[in-house]
Amino acid sequence: MIVFEFKVKAKPTQYAAIDEAIRTAQFVRNKCLRYWMDNQGIDKYDLSKYCRVLACMFSFADQLNSQARQASADRAWSAITRFYENCRKKVKGPKGFPKFKKNCRSVEYKTSGWKLSENRKAITFTDKKGIGRLKLKGTYDLNFYQLNQIKRVRLVRRADGYYVQFAVKADVRVKTKPTGRVVGLDLGIKYFLADSNGHTEESPKFYRKSERQLNRANRQKSKKYRKGAKPQSKNYHLARKRYARKHLRVSRQRKEYCKRVAYSVIQSNDLVAYEDLNVKGLVRNRHLSKSISDAGWSTFRQWLEYFGHKYGKVTVAVPPHYTSVDCPKCHHRVKKSLSQRTHVCENCGYVEDRDIAASLNILQKGLSTAGHAGNYAWGDLPSWAIGAILSSNGGSENQESPRL
| pLDDT for the residue numbered 322 | 86
Question: Pairing state of beta strands 271-275 and 182-187?
Answer: parallel
pLDDT at 377: 53
Number of domains in the chain: 2
Q: For residue 314, give the DSSP letter.
A: E
| pLDDT of amino acid 256 | 94
For the chain, the C-alpha Rg in angstroms (whole number) is: 24
If asked whether residues 19 and 63 sit together in one domain, one would say yes
ω into residue 319 within 30 of 0, thus cis? no
Give pLDDT, residue 38.
93
HSE, side-chain direction, 13 A CA sphere, residue 138:
24
Are residue 162 and residue 198 in the same domain, yes or no?
no
Q: What share of the chain is helix, strand, coil (3-state, %, to 5)?
A: 45, 20, 40
Report the CATH number at residue 332.
Answer: 3.30.420
Kindly tell me the sign of the dihedral angle through the C-alpha atoms of 102, 106, 110, 115. positive
144: phi then psi, degrees, rounded to nearest 5: -75, -20
Residues 6 or more apart in contact with residue 300 via CB below 8 angstroms = 187, 192, 193, 258, 261, 262
- The reply to whether 196 and 136 lie within a common domain is no
What pLDDT is stored for residue 267 in this prediction?
Answer: 93
pLDDT of residue 198: 87
Are residues 159 and 193 both part of a single domain? Answer: no
Q: Check residue 326 and give its pLDDT.
A: 86
Host H or E run for residue 265: helix 234-268
Q: How far is CA 383 from CA 36, 144, 237, 390, in A?
A: 25, 23, 35, 8
**Are 186 and 164 in a shared domain?**
no
> Nearest-CA neighbor of 23 among 107, 124, 87?
107
279, 304: one domain: yes
Q: What is the pLDDT of residue 213?
A: 95
| Predicted local confidence at residue 386, as pLDDT | 36
pLDDT for the residue 376: 55
Q: Please state, for a pLDDT cut of 70, what percent of the chain lies above it.
A: 91
> What secondary structure does DSSP assign to 153-198, as a single string?
EEEEEETTEEEEEEEE-------------EEEEEE-SSEEEEETTS
If asked whether residues 193 and 126 sit together in one domain, one would say no
Spell out, as residue ranges, where the chain has pLDDT lower than 70: 370-404
pLDDT of residue 366: 87
DSSP string, 368-388: HTTTS---BTTBSS-HHHH--
Q: Is 286 in the same domain as 137?
A: no
